[in-house]
Structure formats: structure tokens, C-alpha cells
């Protein structure tokens, strides 16, 4: 990277990196691997407070002499004769530390291996050679590409992704990967990758600094949620909608039937759904409870509750339907184009197909205090964990709740 050129028609970011590398070089020094790539007289490889390039004595004619040439043939130590012919005693003591210690005394395990890299002035290695292990897998050095893309802990994320990111296995650098592959991606695929990488980094920091564990299999679901929220912001025009005038449940006007739904996750996994249908007199014409073992996501469960409620409304012969939910994001997405590649959008498209069974369907958000009966039903479902549908009559406990509220 430090030898990279501007190239033809470089971007503003690349031009900045090329200019900035000269400043970066001033604070870098070599960490010796096998010494074959490090110049004795051209690279700042000797441990020192300030990076320096050693001056070449007049009697040494070879300008491109490499550090490995100053080692013994078996690579186990320094050739004392060659050192004495080139350097004073004080300088030789600093040079001998180059294979065993990085800047400021930070240990760098090099020996005869191929690892090496650059050390910043504070002694933190920029490439492998003494770098800290990955805080997630605790098995490999935590380079940028490993931490954000290649860690074994993250492979479930890419397997669950709605897009094909398999080309990552052919690269070892994020910028290289994007430069080579991203031109063929859609804007949504690229945006989803950016969100995923952000969430991966957030997950890493929460574990490292707050001992909070976020399972990798939950990450793509969170990516979809961020993209769904972006969809709402992009397509929702009425962003300053006023609060409801009434904070009580209201009867629908004839010929409408009103469907109220609610749902929530269950601590042990899965979730509970509930819904109730009432006509223009406030009488219950149908209700249901439903228990699912998957998903364990509130918004998906709310959407499933609407879908199940539409099925019930069609079963009892409704033609004009008002659907109310206290999950604002669910209602907002149902009012926007559902063309994104997410589980939530796939479920919404299924809901919209079900709407073709009715003459009119309206979706409305209401405060929770206007949705108390549906809230009570799903709580009952969460306790009983049963799938029940009522159309001819409703249980006594529900009749009491409807009357009281």
C-alpha cells in the first residue's frame, strides 16, 4: 500500500490516501520478518524513539543490502563480523533487538518466519506480528478484514444474507474486494453490506468493552430491520402526521369491520399472536390466538398477526376491513412499496395479496391504550401457548374484557 500510485483518474478518497501515506511513513518503522524485504540503508528498521534510516558508510558499496544478509546462514543470529564492519558498538546493540523486539519494547514474534509488518510510533503493529488475537474467535490475529468479514464467527451472517457475498473468499482486503466486485452489485446490496459491517463492528466492541454477547445469527435480521426503516423514511410522505384525536377504541362505521391485533415475543423463544374482529355495534364476530416457535422478532410477529387476522376476516365473510395495530413501523411499511429483499417485506407482500379478498382494506396505527383488548388476547395466548379460533361464540373471559373496556 505504501508503494501505491495515484493511477488513472483516481477518486478523491484514493488521492487523499496517496497524499496521506507520506505523512504516515514518518511515524512508521519496519518490523523484521525474515529480513529479505527490508533494506539496511533504505528502511527505518532499527528500534528507536524516532524512526530513522541508517546512513550508509562510504566503504559499503551495496546500496540495496537487505537485513537478512547481516544474519548468520542458519538465520539463528547476527553475523558479528558484518555488523562490526558497518556499525559502531552502540548502534549494534539497537540492531540486535530488531528481531526480538518492536518499538517501545513491544514483543514481535518473528524468528525465521515470514511475518512482518510496520510498527506505528506507539508500538502498535499494523500488520501481523504481535497483533492481538480476534476478540470474537480468539484464534487468529484481528486484522481489519478478519474482524469485519472473514472471522469464522461471522460466516453464519454471510450464509443468512439475502445477497451473494461469496466473492469475499477470494480477497483479503475490504477495499480490494469492493473495487473488484461491488461494481456488479445493486445499490441495496452495497448498502446492506455497509450496515452489516457496522453491526459487526458494534458487536465486536460490545463484547470486548462491555462483555455483551450478540449472536452472529441475529445480525442479518438486524440488517434487514435497518433497511426496512430506511424504506419507510424514503417512501413515507406523511412524516408529520398528527396524534389521534381519541385515545379510546372506537367502533367502525358500517359496512366496515375492525380488526385489532397484537403480538409479542416469548422469553423461551418464538412468540404469541392475538386478534379480534368487531362490527359497527362493537360486537365480537371473531377472535383468535396463535403460538409460534419462530420467529423471535416483534415486528415479524406483528405482521404475522395481521396476516392471520385477514384470514379470519375472510373466513367470517367481511368485505370492508379496518386493520389497527400499535406497531407503527409495521403499518408504515404496509403503506410503502414492498420491493426490498427482506423477510419482513416478503411477509408484507403476502399480506397485500390477502387484501385482494376484500373490497376495501385500511391499515391504521393506534396507541396501545386503544388496543387493550387485542393486547389482552395475545397475553392470554402467551400463557396458554395454544392455537384457537372463535367465530360462533367467544370465551367468557374475553366477553368480560370487551364489556369492561
HEC string for 211-243: CCCCCHHHHHHHHHHHHHHHHHHHHCCCCCCCC
Instruction: Supply the pLDDT for residue 53.
Output: 80
Rounded Cα gap, residues 199 and 288, in angstroms: 37
Name which of 370, 138, 154, 383 is nearest 262 in CA terms.
Answer: 370
Res. 234: pLDDT tops 80: no
**Arithmetic mean of pLDDT, 320-346:** 82
Instruction: Supply the pLDDT for residue 314.
Output: 95
**Arithmetic mean of pLDDT, 338-344:** 71
> Residue 126: pLDDT band by 50, 70, 90 thresholds?
very low
Of residues 367 and 260, the one with the higher pLDDT is 260
Rounded Cα gap, residues 61 and 74, in angstroms: 25
- Each residue of 88-108: pLDDT tens digit? 766 656 555 555 433 333 333
Rounded Cα gap, residues 277 and 390, in angstroms: 10
Rounded Cα gap, residues 364 and 258, in angstroms: 10
Rounded Cα gap, residues 329 and 306, in angstroms: 13
Instruction: Supply the pLDDT for residue 213.
Output: 86
**Average pLDDT over the chain, rounded to an integer:** 78
DSSP 149: I
Instruction: Supply the pLDDT for residue 310.
Output: 96
Least trusted range by pLDDT, from 36-45, 236-245, 301-310: 236-245
**Arithmetic mean of pLDDT, 231-258:** 71
CATH architecture of 256-404: 2-Layer Sandwich (3.30)
Instruction: Supply the pLDDT for residue 209.
Output: 85
**Arithmetic mean of pLDDT, 30-37:** 68
Cβ–Cβ < 8 Å for 27, 121: yes
Instruction: Supply the pLDDT for residue 275.
Output: 92
Grid cell for residue 247: 385515545
Rounded Cα gap, residues 195 and 92, in angstroms: 51
- Cα dihedral 323, 327, 328, 333 sign: negative
Cβ–Cβ < 8 Å for 156, 144: no
Rounded Cα gap, residues 395 and 379, in angstroms: 15
Of residues 321 and 28, the one with the higher pLDDT is 321
Res. 165: pLDDT tops 90: yes
**Arithmetic mean of pLDDT, 72-92:** 76
**Arithmetic mean of pLDDT, 22-34:** 64
Instruction: Supply the pLDDT for residue 357.
Output: 95
Of residues 270 and 194, the one with the higher pLDDT is 194
Grid cell for residue 194: 455497509
Instruction: Supply the pLDDT for residue 278.
Output: 92
Rounded Cα gap, residues 47 and 30, in angstroms: 9
Least trusted range by pLDDT, from 10-19, 120-129, 187-196, 318-327: 120-129
Cβ–Cβ < 8 Å for 274, 305: yes
What pTM was estimated for this model as a whole? 0.50
Instruction: Supply the pLDDT for residue 59.
Output: 81
Of residues 25 and 323, the one with the higher pLDDT is 323
Residues of the chain with CATH 3.30.420.10: 256-404
Name which of 252, 375, 234, 381 is nearest 313 in CA terms.
Answer: 252
Instruction: Supply the pLDDT for residue 130.
Output: 44
Res. 137: pLDDT tops 80: yes
Which percentage of the chain shows pLDDT scores above 90? Answer: 24
Of residues 62 and 246, the one with the higher pLDDT is 62
Instruction: Supply the pLDDT for residue 105.
Output: 34
Cβ–Cβ < 8 Å for 324, 260: yes
Res. 125: pLDDT tops 70: no
> Residue 277: pLDDT band by 50, 70, 90 thresholds?
very high
Rounded Cα gap, residues 202 and 154, in angstroms: 13
Amino acid at each position: 500500500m505504501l508503494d501505491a500510485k495515484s493511477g488513472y483518474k483516481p477518486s478523491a478518497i484514493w488521492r487523499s490516501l496517496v497524499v496521506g501515506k507520506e505523512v504516515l511513513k514518518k511515524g512508521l518503522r519496519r518490523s523484521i520478518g525474515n529480513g529479505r524485504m527490508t533494506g539496511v540503508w533504505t528502511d527505518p528498521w532499527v528500534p528507536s524513539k524516532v524512526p530513522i534510516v541508517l546512513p550508509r558508510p562510504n566503504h559499503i558499496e551495496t546500496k540495496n543490502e537487505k537485513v537478512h544478509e547481516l544474519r548468520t546462514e542458519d538465520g539463528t543470529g547476527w553475523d558479528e563480523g558484518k555488523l562490526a564492519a558497518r556499525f559502531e558498538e552502540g548502534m549494534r546493540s539497537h540492531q540486535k533487538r530488531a528481531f526480538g523486539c518492536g518499538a517501545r519494547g513491544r514483543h514481535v514474534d518473528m524468528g525465521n518466519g515470514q511475518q512482518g509488518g510496520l510498527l506505528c510510533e506507539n508500538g502498535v503493529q499494523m500488520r501481523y506480528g504481535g497483533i492481538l488475537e480476534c476478540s470474537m474467535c480468539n484464534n487468529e490475529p484481528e486484522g481489519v478484514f478478519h474482524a469485519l468479514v472473514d472471522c469464522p464467527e461471522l460466516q453464519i451472517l454471510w450464509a443468512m444474507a439475502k445477497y451473494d457475498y461469496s466473492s469475499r473468499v477470494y480477497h483479503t482486503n475490504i477495499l480490494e474486494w469492493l473495487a473488484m466486485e461491488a461494481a456488479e452489485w445493486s445499490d441495496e446490496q452495497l448498502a446492506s453490506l455497509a450496515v452489516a459491517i457496522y453491526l459487526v463492528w458494534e458487536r465486536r466492541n460490545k463484547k470486548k468493552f462491555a462483555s455483551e454477547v450478540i449472536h452472529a445469527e441475529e445480525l442479518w435480521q438486524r440488517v434487514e430491520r435497518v433497511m426496512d426503516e430506511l424504506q419507510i423514511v424514503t417512501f413515507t410522505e406523511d412524516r408529520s402526521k398528527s396524534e389521534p384525536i381519541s385515545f379510546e377504541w372506537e367502533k367502525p362505521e358500517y359496512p366496515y369491520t375492525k380488526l385489532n391485533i397484537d403480538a409479542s415475543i416469548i422469553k423461551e423463544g418464538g412468540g404469541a399472536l392475538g386478534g379480534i374482529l368487531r362490527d359497527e355495534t362493537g360486537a365480537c364476530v371473531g377472535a383468535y390466538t396463535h403460538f409460534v416457535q419462530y420467529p423471535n422478532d416483534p415486528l415479524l410477529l406483528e405482521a404475522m398477526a395481521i396476516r392471520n387476522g385477514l384470514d379470519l376476516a375472510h373466513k367470517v365473510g367481511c368485505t370492508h376491513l379496518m386493520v389497527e395495530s400499535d406497531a407503527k413501523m409495521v403499518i408504515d411499511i404496509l403503506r410503502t412499496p414492498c420491493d426490498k429483499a427482506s423477510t419482513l417485506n416478503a411477509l408484507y407482500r403476502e399480506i397485500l395479496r390477502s387484501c385482494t379478498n376484500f373490497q376495501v382494506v385500511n391499515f391504521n396505527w393506534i396507541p396501545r391504550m386503544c388496543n387493550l383488548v387485542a393486547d389482552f388476547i395475545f397475553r392470554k395466548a402467551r400463557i396458554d401457548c395454544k392455537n384457537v379460533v372463535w367465530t360462533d361464540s367467544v370465551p367468557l373471559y374475553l366477553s368480560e374484557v370487551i364489556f369492561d373496556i
